Structure 1
Amino acid sequence: MKIQQNLLFFLEMETVRICVFLLLFLSQTWAETDELQMVDMKQDVGRDNSKCNITVNFWAELKELRDMVITSKSKIEKLEEEKSELLSRVTTNENKVALSDARLSASESETEELKRQITETPKVAFSVGLTDAREIGPFNTEITLKFSKVFTNFGQAYNTHTGVFTAPLRGVYYFRFTGFSSRTNHWFGVILNHNDKRVSLNQDYNDDVAYATISNGFVLELEKGDVVYLVLPSNHVIFDDSSNRTVFSGFLIFPL
């Protein structure tokens, strides 16, 4: 609103300037006319002194008016400079606002894209306990451990019936597990498999103490459909109960 008022003011100044120029033109015309009249009147001064006095007074007033016009012209020129400076500032501010709007729009677009990626990226995370049946094993062959107690299973990527985690998409995943033993003088432990490849063998011998534990964790790059699972080695035991001493967890760090 303030800018509109300023522009209206300057339009009024333009009108004043036109009027001033018109007065200058008229004053010059009047001056030329009066000079001719003064010549004639000087020739006839002896006949009528009152005409001469009227002409002199009119010329003085006209000169005063011309001075006023010149002063007004100077003020108008100064206002023109101020107008130009103001318009320049307005343009600069408009450019700054446009730049800010562009940056804000870009930030909003990036935020929306991030939200879209977060929304569209599958939620994959699981944490499961082995059993409440206490000790499992030993067996003459390796068996896949089926963790039956589900604490979380976002994305349903872990299958409690098979004991296998299946990657729903290509990405980098983190897996961690712990194992517990209460049988003395016996081996206990687990094997971490990625597809049909052994990633690690984690075992210990429980000699004459009341209990023993193992723990490990890995970051693995998986393709869609890859599987990860824990295996009980042959002639090994593992223990779990309601205290959840043997657990298996994993989650998607980021997709690839």
Structure 2
Amino acid sequence: MMTRLKISENEVEELKRQNADQPKVAFSLGLTDSGLIGPFNTAITLKFSKVITNFGQVYSPTTGLFTAPVRGAYYFSFTTLDNRSNAWRRVFLYHNDKRVLYSYNYSANSAESVSNSLVLQLEKGDVVYLVLPASSSVYDDTDDHTFFNGFLLFPL
């Protein structure tokens, strides 16, 4: 019995060491408290200024870029709200300079949101960001209608 207890204790300690060595990467962001952003004549990178969490300091509110600190599988999700009527709601998710996700809808009469999520394999230094295309807009206020989340599932 004592031998099994000692083996279990050693396994727990090894798991603690392995967990301590894993990078801590997660962020959750709100866009702004300012209301309507856009529409613009050209596409813009959305810069989420309301940092709720930013474990590992992987998201830059200044640039709007998430930068992968390690090679791994990452999960990203977002929701954007547009409160205009008779408007397309569009947002793109980019991995480096490549558009990998395009989410949109059209609403004739009311405010609606667009949401999506995906898992990406990233290399250390890769960037992920959201782009608001020309003629689109998003809305956010203190209720955080427009947000962006991401985290490392596991290193590769």
Query: Is the structural similarity TM-score above 0.5?
Result: yes
Structure 1 position 241 matched with structure 2 position 141: yes
Partner of 2:20: 119
Query: After superposition, what is the alpha-carbon deviation per residue over 1:101-155, rounded to whole angstroms, capped at 9, x for unaligned?
Result: 2x44443332222101111212111000011111111112111000000111111
SS in 2 for 1:112: helix
Aligned partner (choices 43, 63, 70) of residue 142 of structure 1: 43
- The one-letter amino acid of 1:205's match is Y
Structure 1 position 133 matched with structure 2 position 69: no
Query: After superposition, what is the alpha-carbon deviation per residue over 1:31-65, rounded to whole angstroms, capped at 9, x for unaligned?
Result: xxxxxxxxxxxxxxxxxxxxxxxxxxxxxxxxxxx
Structure 1 position 155 matched with structure 2 position 81: no
SS in 2 for 1:119: helix
TM-score (norm 2): 0.94
Given that 1:181 and 1:206 are in contact with CA atoms closer than 8 Å, whether structure 2 keeps it comes out as no
**Larger gyration radius, structure 1 or structure 2:** 1
Larger relative contact order (CA 8 Å, sep ≥ 6): 2
Which structure has the highest helix share of the two?
Answer: 1
Structure 1 position 218 matched with structure 2 position 114: no
Q: 1: distance between equivalents of 2:8 and 2:124?
A: 32
Q: 2: distance between equivalents of 1:177 and 1:189?
A: 12
Name the Cα RMSD after superposition.
1.4
Q: 2: distance between equivalents of 1:236 and 1:188?
A: 6
User: Runs ≥4 in structure 1, deviation > 2 angstroms?
Assistant: 103-110
Q: 2: distance between equivalents of 1:191 and 1:220?
A: 15
Instruction: Give the fraction of aligned pairs with identical amino acids, expressed as a percent.
Output: 59
Structure 2 residue runs without a partner (length 5+): none
Aligned length: 156
Q: 2: distance between equivalents of 1:248 and 1:189?
A: 15
Q: 1: distance between equivalents of 2:135 and 2:45?
A: 14
